Structure 1
């Protein structure tokens, strides 16, 4: 499959299509999974109009009026990251925390050619947060969003690779991207490009796999490990990077071993003290290996894996005043729905979510099961007492009528 797509397959959204198809690639989830995901870079021209997600006005708002602190912003120039003390200060009376962004210092750095990196926009800018949450749900992997603001003819970072997949969405201006194939395929999170700095620099001298200028509305997908560098062209460039923090087979192996080790804590033979002496007897090593293999074979790591997944993301925003109003005004006609991005799972009588767990009597389980489809229901249909309990727990939220 070609790594370049010059237009979308259809101008209209396919019924039931998600943001992967309608806003990022023009490919169905099945097509993307089969031909692109974790395999190759993909450039999609005119993927979508991203002006509703982010803008120059949003950058100014976040930097000058929101009281952001580090690490919600980094500053980079010529491949190096500037020290935080160079662009932070106290915000004055009533806000004397010393690491808030200093808009004057940031203006001076930006005017001198530095790139501003607004980090974790999925926590600070609503439209980006909504897109990130929807994409994370579709992919089943956590998503982080950063915004990059680069002055004309400047670059913030040298050739490098990321340890997570990325979608690059060009918002304003243009930026030239040079993309090279990996020198280390599928790097884990503790295998950064700096461990292979010389190999990266050498590979970057070769012919690029993609050499292109991204324009507003273009999208670029890069699997982890793919080398890239970008430079703004004649105007200020603003782009979003959606970082996909991939779950891997290695992650599953870690959870499997952790579960097996937890099982071996109850094995009195494994708790025995080793004999005196410097060298570990071969028979003890063989004994431990056999017990460990047996434990791994029996271990069910799914509960640990799902707990970890839930802990890697956040549920959708919840307004405490709106929630209190919903509880106080609850009636059989009150519309409610499951709070988005909860990673809710019903395991027997227990509902596990990102905001905790709840146990239910058997009589409530049909209603709880209905809630998991995400559709709007009324409190009368589900049971007013059950709905009140779930509203107070932050599992249900009022639905818009």
Structure 2
């Protein structure tokens, strides 16, 4: 029996069929992986019709009817982000919320040229949530989604770079994008462009790598660190930015070091007090280096990696009423399947997921392994009692 099994994602197969290949790029997936990913900007004309993901009507609904709070929207104008108090107010009777979006205030800011940024749409708008989850599964890196709504002839942000890769999808209107090569290649999360503000400003004066106007359906890929600025043209521009939160070798090194340090807690010599009167650390470094090398050589950072990865996203939505109804009506012929985006991983008798962990008996493990294929299964095939337990844990759901 395989005791270490990675989850079955909604990921793309080796053939390249998926949202990346069918909606975001017009080159072969393998060519994108070898020549473009993390290396170069890529402009794809008429990549797809993105109106199923977002529209002007959807923006109006999100702002005026969904009761969003300040963390889900920010407002910027001419490179400055406005304070939340400029566009929020109390929620009214029956709701003790002081920072709900004020659509009248937002209208006034927008009419005055400010850009509205709808943040974390992978949490608040179902079409984008589904798309982001699929793309994240294909790339193996978490995906977030923000929308930028800019009035004609305005720009929200000055030249800058992001610390994550992005796909820019033009939804409505047109926007001119000016792209420059990095001044700091592959910046880490704690290396923002503001640390190099003057260098970025100087580089932005040079010849552009790309200077183009995006039209609806166009897609632009930018690796982290690439400088960019954008300005709406003759009408309101709506574009969606899919931020790819890249796993890096540095991040893996951090986790390996953390695992090694955790192991050193069990080493009596490492826990010992330094000698009396020690003059700085020099006298102890040889021993510490030796122990640290030994710990790193045997450390296993995989559990920490998978825990961190599980914490970076959420599983597919689960309706508690529908789930309870399915549990109560559960019979041997009921079809169930693994809830998507669970990041489920079976290691020995333990199944770890984004919604917690469960231990199973030796006799249950074959059924659990079958369940991990993501296909619909009859409850009687897996065992009705086991299926009920997994449904109550939020691991299995009724099959579509």
TM-score tier (shorter) = over 0.9
Please give the per-residue CA displacement for 1:85-140, whole angstroms capped at 9, x wherever unaligned.
11010021112311110101000000000000000000000000000000011111
Match of residue 233 from structure 2: 233
* Alignment match, 1:157: 157
CA shift, 1:278, in A, is 6.6
1:198 and 2:198 equivalent? yes
Task: Please state how far the C-alpha of 1:307 moved relative to its aligned partner.
Answer: 0.5
- Name the count of aligned residue pairs: 387
TM-score under structure 1 length normalisation: 0.95
- 5 Å-filtered alignment, 1:324-343, equals 324-343=324-343
Determine the C-alpha separation between the residues in 2 that align with 1:28 and 1:251.
29
Match of 1:144 in 2: 144
Instruction: State the distance in 2 between where 1:59 and 1:278 align.
Output: 64
TM-score by length of 2: 0.95
2:390 corresponds to: 390
CA–CA distance in structure 2, aligned partners of residues 371 and 49 of structure 1:
35
TM-aligned CA deviation for residue 275 of structure 1: 2.4
Per-residue CA distance 1:202-238 (angstroms, 9 max, x = gap): 1100111111100000000000000000000000000
Structure 1 CA distance for aligned equivalents of residues 380 and 281 of structure 2: 68
Distance 1:176 1:291 in 2: 55
Contact 1:20 1:26 in 2 (8 A): no
How far is the alpha carbon of 1:370 from its aligned partner?
1.4
**Mapped contact 2:79–2:158 kept (Cα < 8 A):** yes
Counterpart-to-counterpart distance in 2, 1:377 and 1:70 = 43
Contact 1:274–1:280 (CA under 8 A) maintained in structure 2: no
Contact 2:367 2:382 in 1 (8 A): yes
Q: Is the 8 A contact 2:16 2:29 kept in 1?
A: no
The structure 1 segments of at least 4 consecutive aligned residues displaced by more than 6 Å after TM superposition are none
* Deviation (angstroms), 1:315: 0.4
SS at match of 1:362: coil
Partner of 2:279: 279
**Where do residues 348-359 of structure 1 align in structure 2 (5 Å cutoff)?**
348-359=348-359
3-state secondary structure, aligned to 2:43: strand
Give the aligned partner of residue 289 of structure 2: 289
Larger relative contact order (Cα-Cα within 8 Å, sequence gap ≥ 6): 2
Deviation at 1:282, TM superposition (A): 2.3
Q: Aligned runs of 1:313-332 on 2, under 5 Å?
A: 313-332=313-332
Moved more, 374-383 or 108-117: 374-383
Name which of structure 1's ranges 25-34 and 160-169 shifts more when overlaid on structure 2. Answer: 25-34
Query: Which residues of structure 2 form unaligned runs of 5+?
Result: 1-13
Matches within 5 A, 1:215-230: 215-230=215-230
Cα distance, 1:32 vs. partner? 1.9
